[in-house]
Chain A
């Protein structure tokens, strides 16, 4: 069996992810997380009646980040992730999970070289791209206006 033959065999015969099951699960769980977010915003707008929309959105994000971190710390968010995949990774709770989980994992190497150094191992690229993109948009905006 030569190299190419073998690679073709492996590609054709490896077990594949069940596409429909994972898509439906991701859609339902992702939608549910966003619904919770909207619910949080509605409750906030009831409690703080004269808060502007922008500030409400900021507070909402903060609460969702807290919930994501909290359920990561309880060890529940990864179980949700095994089932939902992208549905729980894409929302902001997933971002919180990707920062808190390495922080918990490297806790044993100490505060400085463990938690602080390794915290952004997974979320690092997202932050770099986020900062770079906002900088680029800012430059374009500066010239356009």
Chain B
């Protein structure tokens, strides 16, 4: 049984995203919580930066849901680096249990499935699902040094610099945002009978500190809170539930071009989608949002072609987050890819649309190409994988 349906409600309490500057200029730019000014984030290496993004995405999601770090039972997450280094290094900052996962770029939906199953089974109450990727760390691990003057092939994709975290919860979340009220209130207890001069001094002190913090903040990140998609003060109108999913099978149709990931992953998504529609007795028209991970523009065309051969027409609102991630002027050729692509697009764009009730029933299929740097050199072909989960929104 690869397709499952959850019996108990599993809610998405919050989502948090941090992305790099190029992603902030892309199509989803106004949806992200934090957009960094530079992709080093004042760290000494890109790996450290990725780990920091991952850590802060998780703690951002926890804070946004109004919880404390101790409340979270399990961290589920992964990234593209060897031995999941950025996720593991991020996880050492939390008192929760940690399960490291790897399914290349489909790690996010793998984490969402496992997290919702654990909550459905009553083993835990809260879990975070997070993935991250960084353009510079992925280039270095899978391709060439950054400064090497080589040409990228037209089938290449651009690894997204970003980290996204989702907090799954067994209890229905409140419909307002906790992050705002906690941060911005300076609390002075009037009943303490303090000298007014002291209070004045204290307030001035706080004001000074806040100025410094604001300056620091503006140095690292663009202010994204005022944009309409990111209105922190507005209450949510809908609660979001994870309802089920389909676990993917590893599919290898013999593509060995590591620069053409879309062609590697398209058959895997096709297989997962067909299994899901078949086993859950649904059709594409039952969903008002169908999203795939990071197939890219060519991969998206390939998937549509393969599905039409199987007799299923994907609707016009089907979106590949990788293909839609960047604008054509950003010269990424096929669009975004990487573990951070679907997690930032889901938490930044899809989840916010669900929370406002603009989408009701959504299917998300993240896709991954399972290769290491050495396997193509050893003349192995590249297998693909795709996991799928479905989410629904319900009015409060």
What residues make up the interface of A, taking CB atoms closer than 8 Å to B? 1, 3, 6-7, 9-10, 13-18, 22, 72-73, 75, 77-82, 84-85, 88-89, 94, 97-98, 100-102, 104-106, 108, 121-122
Contacts and interface: CB of A to CB of B under 8 A. Distances in A.
B152 A82 contact: yes
A98 B155 CA distance: 23
Decide if the interface of chain A is mainly helix, strand, loop or mixed.
helix
Given A10-B260, A14-B260, A89-B150, A104 B145 contact: yes
A97 B148 contact: yes
B146 interface: yes
Given A6-B253, A10-B263, A75 B302 contact: no
B263 A105 contact: no
Contacts of B44: 108
B214 interface: no
A108 B45 contact: yes
Given A81-B149, A97-B149, 6 more contacts: A6-B253, A9-B302, A9-B305, A14-B260, A15-B154, A85-B150
A97 B298 CA distance: 32
Contacts of B267: 1, 6
Given A3-B254, A108-B44, A85 B148 contact: no
Nearest to B136: A105
Contacts of B333: 15
Interface of B: 44-45, 140, 144-155, 253-255, 260, 263, 267, 298, 301-302, 305-306, 309, 333-334
- For A18, A89, A105, the residue with the greatest tally of chain B CB atoms inside 10 Å of its CB is A105
A105 B151 contact: no
The 8 closest A-B pairs by CB, nearest first: A81-B149, A105-B145, A101-B147, A101-B145, A85-B151, A101-B148, A15-B154, A10-B263
Of A13, A15, A88, A106, the most chain B CB neighbours within 10 A belong to A15
Q: Which of A10, A94, A101, A122 has the most CB of B within 10 A?
A: A10
A97 to B, nearest CB: 5
Contacts of B306: 1
B147 A72 contact: yes
A1 B302 CA distance: 12
A79 B146 CA distance: 10
A1 B147 contact: no
A82 B153 CA distance: 10
A13 B301 contact: yes
B153 A17 contact: yes
Contacts of A1: 253, 267, 306, 309
Contacts of B255: 6-7, 10
Given A3-B254, A7-B254, A17-B153, A105 B147 contact: yes
Nearest to A82: B151
Contacts of A122: 144-145, 148
Contact of B298 (A14, A73, A78, A89): A14
Given A7-B255, A78-B146, A14 B263 contact: yes
Nearest to A97: B149
Most chain B CB neighbours (cut-off 10 Å) among A14, A77, A105:
A14
Contacts of A10: 255, 260, 263, 302
Given A10-B260, A17-B153, A82-B152, A100 B147 contact: yes
A53 to B, nearest CB: 30
A85 B260 CA distance: 19
Nearest to A107: B45
Contacts of A13: 298, 301-302
14 contacts: A6-B254, A6-B267, A10-B263, A13-B298, A78-B146, A78-B147, A78-B150, A82-B151, A85-B151, A101-B148, A102-B148, A108-B45, A122-B145, A122-B148
A18 B154 CA distance: 9
B331 to A, nearest CB: 8
A84 B145 CA distance: 18
A88 B254 contact: no
B254 A75 contact: no
Contacts of B305: 9
Contacts of B154: 15-18
A106 B47 CA distance: 12
Given A9-B305, A105-B145, A22 B254 contact: no
A15 B155 contact: yes
A78 B146 CA distance: 8
A70 B44 CA distance: 22
A15 B298 contact: yes
